[in-house]
Structure 1
Amino acid sequence: MESTNNIIEIKIDSYDDLVNHIKGKTDKCGDLRDNFIFRGLSNFEHELVPSALRKDNLNQPIVNDYVGGDLGLLVLISNEDVKSNFLEDRVHIDLGYGKWVSFDKNQHPFFDNNREYLKNKNYLQIKRETYALLKFLNIADKNGLKINTSYETRSKIHNYLNPDKITFWPKKSFFEIISLAQHYNLPTCALDWTYDYHVALYFAVKDILENKNNDGVIWALNYRLFEDNYNESNEYKLRFYRPEYHSNPNLRAQKGLFTFLINPVDEILDCPLDQVICREIKNIGKKNKKTVFDNGKDLILIPPEITENDIIFYKFVISKNAKLDILEELYKEGYSEDTLFPGYGRVIQNMGNRVMLENIKNESDKKPKKNILLKIKNCEDIFQRKINYLFGKFNFNSEIENIYIYSPESQEIKGYFKANEIIKNSPNLIWEKYHNKSNWLKKDFNNYFKDNKAYAIRINGLIEFNFPFKINNLSMGNQFMYIEPDNTDINFLLNFK
């Protein structure tokens, strides 16, 4: 686990591992279900950046894919800049003290793709997003699809290309249409979250069916901390917004909500949300930069009462090796395509995905698994069936076929058992579930596992060798060792049985 400022990072190796962290059954975090919202990403390297600010292979915002060549951007430029940048032939309106110049969606002066001139790139970005949203509204409206919008938003359908003054983005009047468009994959300035961590987990692991091979991530954001410190005398750049669920069955099924960062037109906040917030918290004591909006209220990023001692985010990194089992658990819990995206087509998709999941698991089971040699004191307790679980800091994965028992006292391999139930979790959970199968005292157990690395292994299918195999001068740095082909003597021995 790594901690960075107001962010706690925790690595996750199983479904139960994540659930117990979020429910507060470990000592790494309390119960997160009431105070946190969640966002799942299939690749842990993906950042908390809104889709409208993400770039394509040509380093252009992907929102450009939804913006036609008819987007005309008029920018007021001083007479001096017009002259020094040879833009006289691109002037649209001459105001005397300055000139409106036409640009295209890629910030080139119209009909001149070889020159790039635009000082305020955030203004262009806002115009791109506004254009795409109003185009979405226009087409959906003409097709009789209901969109909850204000008069202010609807009035711009036919005049959104005019050089109206933009002071900040997004405006409250656009929150509803942004939320709807974001939910149907139009790139917007919103980040979508959910109150239900299972939903976030689904989005973090579902790519396993596409043959992807990345660790996933679930971000948990302490939204209550912001609500509890809300002050009506200020407005904040970070906004939480929940649309009306009744008009969107997908959003209702996913228990969704959105975050917005309100940007003044001259300040672009295109770095990840976690970095923006943590940077602001560091700077709160040094400076508290405010922007006065049209309504006269001060605008600051977050409540100044939030400090570096507050945990804002948990970052749960989901092991790629656990995704298959996690997705299977989610399907059993009722989190699947047909429930998260209600509709007949998703029912069919889920039927196919379940078959695909089963096939992938079957192929995974066919892969050769490793054996390990495990150093165990007092082996007689195992063979006399006095215990049926082993506890230790083993730190090996679950892709193991057999566990061979090595007695360091006699330097013998005494037997083996099947490795088909290996539980990795917090000491608290393992003690809670298996203490009656342990010969440990609780204080000794807690003291030994105080670093939170705990495994429980069920002794299943135990085979005791009638004639234990003697191994002299065996060097084992850890409590266990994998048995690989280059361990020729041991490998021969284990295949000889």
Structure 2
Amino acid sequence: MEHNKDFQEHRNRVHEETLETMEDVIQHLCPFKKKISKLFGINSTFIFRGVSDHNYQLQPSLYRGFEKKSHNRDVLLEELRLLKDFVEACDLSGTQIPADSYKLRIEINSDNTIFNRMMKEQSSWLVDGTLNEIIGLAQHYGVPTRFLDWSYQPLVALYFASIGAIKKMNNDLDKDYSDSYIAVWAYLPTNHSRVKVVDLPRSINSHISYQQGCFTFIIQDRDRFSPINRSDNDRSKTLFMDTYLRQDDLTNNIILAPKTLLVKLKIPYSLVTEIYKYCDAYSFNAATLFRGPHGSAEYTNEKRIMHKVEYDLNLKKKGLKPITL
């Protein structure tokens, strides 16, 4: 009975709530309101992550696609290969690499040195931050890494969640989205010994600067031959930050832990075009978050898609069928 009580207390550290109206969204996530502080029971600095499907868990892209029978060794080798390929590609394209140095090149280009270190350090490999800047740059340009993207600005998270949902709806206009939700996660950074928040210099990685971004990753307890096990009953092998915090006994991992560490806000798809326009009105859009010709083109295309989806949603409300071009 005592065990069940402790488990429930751990689960309470991840709070979930549904926001049914635009007013609820504004009250919780507008930087001038931040009603979300009441859900944490503390007025502090939070970080936010938006996803287009509330069923998505907080799993780094590096771990996606590995089957249950895969070993941690496979993930470590994949991470090493991707980082080496990314550095080589940056050289070929003339892209400046953060924290670049002669010493760094010798280490990353020495297969024996870096492989031996990776095998020796296991899950703590790269935890010292040696390659964090490179990992962050790779992550922001679509390379699978151990990092999860977050932002200190809640409207950035709302933008990414809403435009992701709008693109999904545009790809399948006939689908019923009445039971579909986006989600915005909010995390309270703490001195947790395993859940790490990484703030990188923003002068080279412009995406971090424009998006007020940061990253998280979990130091996993597993050796190189441990199977990748996604079971919610095995904390030491879980790859999801939300599952980890639900199950984690914080006694030895954190000092003065608040009751709630992570909040998940579900928002219905029926609000996504309104949310997108709200973010756009405050200049949180592709043009400002990505900048340059790429951001300008993306913004132009996103607005076209948004207006089309908005028009189709209005047709559905009137009982009419959306027009397929």
TM-score tier after normalising by the smaller chain length: 0.7 to 0.9
1:133 to 56, 80, 83: 83
The CA distance in 2 between the partners of 1:34 and 1:304, in whole Å, is 16
**Correspondence 1:247-258 to 2 at 5 A:** 247-258=204-215
The residue aligned with 1:122 is: 72
In proportion to residue count, which structure has more strand?
Answer: 1
Shift of 1:24: 4.2
The answer on whether the counterparts of 2:222 and 2:237 sit within 8 Å (CA) in structure 1 is: no
| TM-score of the two chains, using structure 2 as the length reference | 0.76
The CA distance in 2 between the partners of 1:277 and 1:138, in whole Å, is 36
The residue aligned with 1:220 is: 186
Alpha carbons of 1:17 and 1:352: their partners in 2 closer, same or farther (altered >3 Å)?
Answer: same
Shift of 1:248: 1.7
Alpha carbons of 1:270 and 1:131: their partners in 2 closer, same or farther (altered >3 Å)?
Answer: farther
1:156 aligns with 2:107: yes
**Correspondence 1:266-415 to 2 at 5 A:** 266=223, 269-281=237-249, 284=251, 288=252, 302-306=253-257, 310-369=259-318
Amino acid at match of 1:21: H
Shift of 1:16: 2.7
Q: Which runs of 5+ in 1 are unaligned?
A: 61-105, 108-120, 231-235, 289-301, 371-497
The CA distance in 2 between the partners of 1:143 and 1:174, in whole Å, is 20
The CA distance in 1 between the partners of 2:315 and 2:74, in whole Å, is 54
The answer on whether the counterparts of 1:218 and 1:317 sit within 8 Å (CA) in structure 2 is: yes
1:11 to 10, 15, 18: 18
Q: Which stretch of structure 1 is more off in the superposition, 329-338 or 14-23? A: 14-23
Amino acid at match of 1:46: Y
Shift of 1:122: 1.4
Alpha carbons of 1:33 and 1:146: their partners in 2 closer, same or farther (altered >3 Å)?
Answer: farther
Shift of 1:43: 0.7
The residue aligned with 2:28 is: 21
2:53 to 40, 43, 51: 43
| TM-score of the two chains, using structure 1 as the length reference | 0.51
Amino acid at match of 2:65: K
Shift of 1:278: 3.0
Secondary structure of 1:263 counterpart: coil
Shift of 1:359: 2.9
Shift of 1:276: 1.2
Amino acid at match of 2:240: P
Q: Give the percent of matched residue pairs that are identical in Structure 1 and Structure 2.
A: 24
Secondary structure of 1:305 counterpart: coil
The CA distance in 1 between the partners of 2:145 and 2:36, in whole Å, is 37
Amino acid at match of 1:134: K
The CA distance in 2 between the partners of 1:364 and 1:52, in whole Å, is 35
Alpha carbons of 1:244 and 1:186: their partners in 2 closer, same or farther (altered >3 Å)?
Answer: same
In proportion to residue count, which structure has more helix?
Answer: 2
The answer on whether the counterparts of 1:222 and 1:313 sit within 8 Å (CA) in structure 2 is: yes
1:143 aligns with 2:93: yes
Shift of 1:323: 0.9
Amino acid at match of 1:169: W
Amino acid at match of 1:260: F
Q: Which runs of 5+ in 2 are unaligned?
A: 1-8, 170-176, 227-235, 320-325
The CA distance in 1 between the partners of 2:317 and 2:57, in whole Å, is 36
Aligned residues: 280
